[in-house]
Structure 1
Amino acid sequence: MAFDIPSSARLVFQGDSITAAGRDTDDDRSLGHGYVAAVAETLIATGSAPDVLNRGISGHRAADLRARWDRDAVQLKPDVLSVLVGINDTWRRYDSQDPTSTADYERDYRALLLPFRDGGTRLVLIEPFLVPVRPEQWEWRADLDPRIQVVRRLAAEFDAQLLAADGLLNQAAREAGDPTAIADDGVHLTALGHARLAAEWTRLVRVG
């Protein structure tokens, strides 16, 4: 069920390169060119005037978010906090032999949410996702799928909106007839992929 927030609400988006989407990290108002910017455009078009902040940073894992969390989330006092993190925790296992255990991922992710348990901030947790474009990427599911389950459990624990992005985007890839239409490398979204993610986000959060 969607939740309603005031039109002037502060929305903070946190995550890795999928959220950052090329934003200028030297400009606190830069939204990048991905789903965050699309969400902002949609809300403005409906007459809302939310304060939208993008604090995604390329390459970050859950532990990296935790290290900068007070400055880039807690101190911003968001009315809505949206989090998408986890694919780099999986990816580094396969390209750098630098794994993050599921237990450590869950510990760090929970630590991100604890400051907002009773503070009036509404939470949107976006599942990490993978749209395999190469046969070997199917092997990543063994590492990623348990992380998706972590996010689902935390969404229930913290009464957050759950954006089930993994199924959403894989279905979009099937509809498009080509996974690269959604994520050109299986991870980083195309314009169509960002649009699908933004549309689902704005379905879950009504601003006005």
Structure 2
Amino acid sequence: MRPLRFVALGDSLTEGVGDPVGGLWRGWAALLARGLAPVDAGVEFTNLALSGAQSRDVLERQTPEALALRPDVVSVVIGVNDTLRCTFDIHSVAERLDTVYAAFRARDTLVMTACLPDPGSMLGLPGALARPLARRQRAVNTVVHALSQRHGALHLHAAEEEWLTDRAMWSADRLHPGERGHRQLALRFHALLAARGIATGAAPAAEPEFAAPTRSASLWWLATAGTGWVARRCTDLLPQLLTLAASEVRHRARGTSSRLDLSAAHAVSAALAALSVAEQPDAA
């Protein structure tokens, strides 16, 4: 009997940023893989996640590679980088994710998904800058949740839990979990998989294996790699984000902020409705 095959797709969160081990990133997916089967049974784990990836990258690059590996379990945790781009379009995100989930379910692969916190609140941005990003992330989370139900995916609610406010869970950049946070994600996914009888190995330990980075080390990371990460995204997003923030201020002054929320909710509903229609071409 061959070992269970687990393939992880996504961006820097799944790549393991924030959990360095031996000069490489480890992360929640690698921690989870160890507990999917007893030690003597083994697990074949492949991490295809890449920092900066968007839903398009998962669809066009990562999914074909993953399908070729014939996984039993696949994790698809993506969407935050989509919200940080001026090209953000919830219709496109929904179409891509629906295609990805369907491709794996057609192979009887168990799909794992998660909803995530919005980057604006994690970074502590001012309200006018944070609200547009929060609205976008809520839209992505709503789509992921709906499509997870449609495709029978195992879904982890990780967007509105107490762990988000525990500073010890997060790395210096405040966007990626530290080792403790990655372990929490691994533990929660393991519990869901164990409830389905899929994870039969020992659950990951909750306590960190390594000491947390010192404050000076964290500041050095922010001043080097962290600054580059922010700069690359601000070059693309900042002009539009300022426009969105100006719109937030205008609507708030007029007392019409609810219109922005209603517009975003309508876009999500329309995106999901379009997918439902597309799945029934012969309905007429």
1:34 equivalent in structure 2: 27
* 2:9 equivalent to 1:11: no
* 2:184 equivalent to 1:196: yes
- Could you say which structure has the larger radius of gyration? 2
Q: Structure 1 residues 194 and 45, CA, compared in 2 at 3 Å: closer, same or farther?
A: farther
1:173 equivalent in structure 2: 164
2:137 equivalent in structure 1: 144
From 16, 34, 48, the equivalent of 1:55 is 48
Deviation at 1:157, TM superposition (A): 0.4
- The 8 Å contact of residues 123 and 175 in structure 2, kept in 1 or not, is answered as no
Query: Comparing both structures, which one devotes a greater share of its residues to helix?
Result: 2
Question: C-alpha offsets along residues 77-111 of structure 1, whole Å, 9 cap, x if unaligned?
Answer: 1101111000000122xxxxx23111110011111
Deviation at 1:44, TM superposition (A): 6.0
Matches within 5 A, 1:95-114: 98-114=86-102
Deviation at 1:74, TM superposition (A): 1.4
Instruction: Give the secondary-structure state (helix, strand or coil) at the position aligned to 2:112.
Output: strand
Distance 1:48 1:173 in 2: 34
Instruction: Give the secondary-structure state (helix, strand or coil) at the position aligned to 2:56.
Output: helix
2:232 equivalent in structure 1: none
- The 8 Å contact of residues 38 and 198 in structure 1, kept in 2 or not, is answered as yes
**Which one has more relative contact order, counting CA pairs under 8 Å at least 6 apart?**
1
Amino acid at match of 2:99: A
Deviation at 1:71, TM superposition (A): 3.2
* 2:59 equivalent to 1:66: yes
* 2:117 equivalent to 1:122: no
Amino acid at match of 2:164: A
Distance 2:37 2:4 in 1: 12
Amino acid at match of 1:119: R
- The 8 Å contact of residues 8 and 48 in structure 2, kept in 1 or not, is answered as yes
Aligned residues: 185
- The 8 Å contact of residues 129 and 187 in structure 1, kept in 2 or not, is answered as no
User: Runs of 5+ in structure 1 lacking a partner?
Assistant: 1-5, 23-30, 93-97
Query: What TM-score does the superposition give when structure 2 sets the normalisation length?
Result: 0.59
Distance 1:129 1:183 in 2: 15
Deviation at 1:67, TM superposition (A): 1.3
Q: Structure 1 residues 156 and 43, CA, compared in 2 at 3 Å: closer, same or farther?
A: closer
- The 8 Å contact of residues 34 and 43 in structure 2, kept in 1 or not, is answered as no
- The 8 Å contact of residues 105 and 147 in structure 1, kept in 2 or not, is answered as yes
Deviation at 1:70, TM superposition (A): 4.7
Instruction: Give the secondary-structure state (helix, strand or coil) at the position aligned to 2:25.
Output: coil
- The 8 Å contact of residues 172 and 182 in structure 1, kept in 2 or not, is answered as no
Query: What TM-score does the superposition give when structure 1 sets the normalisation length?
Result: 0.79
